[in-house]
A = this chain, B = another copy of it.
Amino acid sequence: MADSLTLAFLDKLWRMPFSGESLEKAKYGILDYIASAFAGRADAGVMKLIRAADEEGGRPLAPVLFHGCRVNRGQSALINGFMGHALDYDDVHAEVRGHPSTVILPALIALGDRGGDGRRFLEAYIVGVEAMARIALALSNEHYERGFHNTATAGALAAAIAGAHYLDWPAERAALALGLAATQAGGLRVHFGTETKPLHAGLAAAAGIRSLLLAEADVQGSRASLDGRLGYFAVFGQGEERARAELLREDAVPRIVSPGLWHKLYPFCSAAYFGWHAAEQLGRIPLDRIEAIEIAFTGRSDAALIHQRPLNGEEGRFSIEYIAALILSGRGIRAGDFQRVPIDGEIRAYMDRMRRTNVMDEPPGVRYTRITVTLTDGGTVTAVGDRPKGSPGNPVTEAELERKFEEVVTGPNAAAIREQVLRLDEARDVRPFIGLLGEG
């Protein structure tokens, strides 16, 4: 077993201990995924996917969250994955460089009709986050920067692993599903700023489910798909040796705890959060006092921020210029700022004075965004954002997450859902809980 990297990785995951702290983090991760999905439940893309699933047909085994309808497992994973990520309101993870919960949890929810207790559900989620972070670290930043979307390319594998763990498969059988997921891994950042970005979360969750169903049907494939010269990491990453170091690294604390899930209080891309932190320190500066604004990113940490001159609030989710303009203008950020509504002239005037630079000589692991405003009177003001709200150095608290949930999730089931999530480790069967999430 030690010979195969694939099996050694699964074996390590299968032996993970689960601390009380990791179980608590998992509960709050679920709470935040539910809030994010609820906020996106009526997104236009969700409605399109529901119609497409209806045309396709399927055995109604798994829920479309908050819609009171059931679809087949793959469709459920696709739609709920999209829904959680529709507003870019869901968690990220710095090591994943992508969105773990909106891939892993929809896959587990799609398997919920198989039964299983709440503790097992939480553990499978913890294993999924652990797997996705390690896979993404093994792929290295180069993978993301080349143009792959980790949420999709690492997510499909993590969804299959989490699902196999939930189904209590031995590592040997999980290796088969993992291989089927690895060969379906794909996803291009060229789609950022369109509905296909959240679709990637759904496609990854659905690919994970498809892999499990094919493995269950006994379709044969490589059980060593991460290994060697033709394996997943040689093809998509930097080869097996780097992968071995990251996948098998000994760590005292699971990655759902440290660096932990990065929860959002506002629905815009986490890559803009460092610049938001810098802008918050500068505060309001009247437009007529501003000559120019330079926004400096360490490395290529602005890669996800594809809009330098967004036309509407939806594009503004991926624009540091939009976020910084909202703060510098004194308006601040409100939940309604990220709809497909044209951006007005004042904000555009702020953005027109901005340009980006990249700081390439910082050591690895150092990340910040620095905003320097050159004033018309010749002076400059500068601020460095390195610990934005939500990031590992400045986490959103459990109380803040509960407040986000309360503000976002409405309807008669809201309190019951919240209570069941926070006591999920005591649930003897997850089916009533998942049934509750499915109600319209």
A213 to B203, CA, bound (A): 14
A14 to B116, CA, bound (A): 52
Of A130-138, A219-227, A426-434, the one contacting chain B is A219-227
For the complex, is A257 an interface residue (Cβ under 8 Å from B)? no
Q: How many of chain A's residues have a CB under 8 angstroms from any CB in B?
A: 55
Query: What residue of chain B has the Cβ atom nearest to residue A223's Cβ?
Result: B194
Instruction: Tell me how far the C-beta of A193 lies from the nearest C-beta in chain B, rounded to whole angstroms.
Output: 8
A218 to B47, CA, bound (A): 10
Contacts of A227 in B (CB 8 A): 190
Query: Contact flags (1/0) for A215-247 with B, using CB distance below 8 Å?
Result: 011111110110111111011000000000000
Of A48-56, A118-126, A366-374, A412-420, the one contacting chain B is A48-56
Q: Which 3 pairs across A and B sit closest by C-beta, in order of nearness?
A: A57-B59, A196-B221, A186-B186
Instruction: Tell me how far the C-beta of A72 lies from the nearest C-beta in chain B, rounded to whole angstroms.
Output: 5
For the complex, is A437 an interface residue (Cβ under 8 Å from B)? no
Contacts of A152 in B (CB 8 A): 183
Query: What residue of chain B has the Cβ atom nearest to residue A187's Cβ?
Result: B183
Interface positions of A (Cβ within 8 A of B): 45, 48-49, 51-52, 55-59, 72-74, 146-149, 152, 179-180, 182-191, 194-196, 199-200, 203, 213-214, 216-222, 224-225, 227-232, 234-235
* In-complex Cβ contact of A74 among B56, B216, B228 (8 A): B56
Contacts of A228 in B (CB 8 A): 190
Q: Are A222 and B200 in contact (CB under 8 A)?
A: no
Q: Are A189 and B230 in contact (CB under 8 A)?
A: yes
Q: Are A59 and B55 in contact (CB under 8 A)?
A: yes
Q: Are A220 and B194 in contact (CB under 8 A)?
A: yes
Q: Are A217 and B57 in contact (CB under 8 A)?
A: no
Q: Are B74 and A217 in contact (CB under 8 A)?
A: no
Q: Are B184 and A196 in contact (CB under 8 A)?
A: no
Query: What residue of chain B has the Cβ atom nearest to residue A54's Cβ?
Result: B59
Query: What residue of chain B has the Cβ atom nearest to residue A74's Cβ?
Result: B56
With contact pairs A196-B219, A219-B196 given, residues A190 and B52 touching in the complex (Cβ less than 8 Å): no
* In-complex Cβ contact of A188 among B48, B52, B146, B225 (8 A): B225
With contact pairs A183-B187, A186-B185, A188-B182 given, residues A195 and B221 touching in the complex (Cβ less than 8 Å): yes
In the assembled complex, 17 residue pairs joining A and B whose CB atoms fall closer than 8 Å, in A order, are A45-B220, A48-B219, A49-B217, A52-B219, A56-B74, A146-B234, A147-B229, A147-B230, A147-B235, A149-B183, A182-B190, A183-B199, A184-B187, A188-B230, A190-B228, A190-B231, A199-B221
Q: Are A217 and B51 in contact (CB under 8 A)?
A: yes
Q: Are A217 and B186 in contact (CB under 8 A)?
A: no
With contact pairs A52-B213, A235-B148 given, residues A188 and B183 touching in the complex (Cβ less than 8 Å): yes
A189 to B229, CA, bound (A): 10
Known: A56-B59, A56-B74, A183-B187. 10 other contacts (CB 8 A): A52-B214, A52-B216, A146-B235, A147-B230, A147-B234, A190-B224, A190-B225, A191-B222, A196-B219, A196-B220
Query: What residue of chain B has the Cβ atom nearest to residue A181's Cβ?
Result: B186
A149 to B221, CA, bound (A): 14
Instruction: Tell me how far the C-beta of A5 lies from the nearest C-beta in chain B, rounded to whole angstroms.
Output: 12
A224 to B74, CA, bound (A): 28
Q: Are B213 and A196 in contact (CB under 8 A)?
A: no
Query: What residue of chain B has the Cβ atom nearest to residue A48's Cβ?
Result: B217
Query: What residue of chain B has the Cβ atom nearest to residue A306's Cβ?
Result: B230
A58 to B194, CA, bound (A): 28
Q: Are A217 and B52 in contact (CB under 8 A)?
A: yes
* In-complex Cβ contact of A183 among B58, B186, B218 (8 A): B186
Contacts of A213 in B (CB 8 A): 52, 55-56
Instruction: Tell me how far the C-beta of A396 lies from the nearest C-beta in chain B, rounded to whole angstroms.
Output: 30
A182 to B188, CA, bound (A): 8
A169 to B51, CA, bound (A): 20
Contacts of A225 in B (CB 8 A): 188, 190-191
Instruction: Tell me how far the C-beta of A413 lies from the nearest C-beta in chain B, rounded to whole angstroms.
Output: 28
Q: Are A235 and B188 in contact (CB under 8 A)?
A: yes
Query: What residue of chain B has the Cβ atom nearest to residue A153's Cβ?
Result: B186
Q: Are A191 and B183 in contact (CB under 8 A)?
A: yes
Instruction: Tell me how far the C-beta of A99 lies from the nearest C-beta in chain B, rounded to whole angstroms.
Output: 16
Instruction: Tell me how far the C-beta of A307 lies from the nearest C-beta in chain B, rounded to whole angstroms.
Output: 13
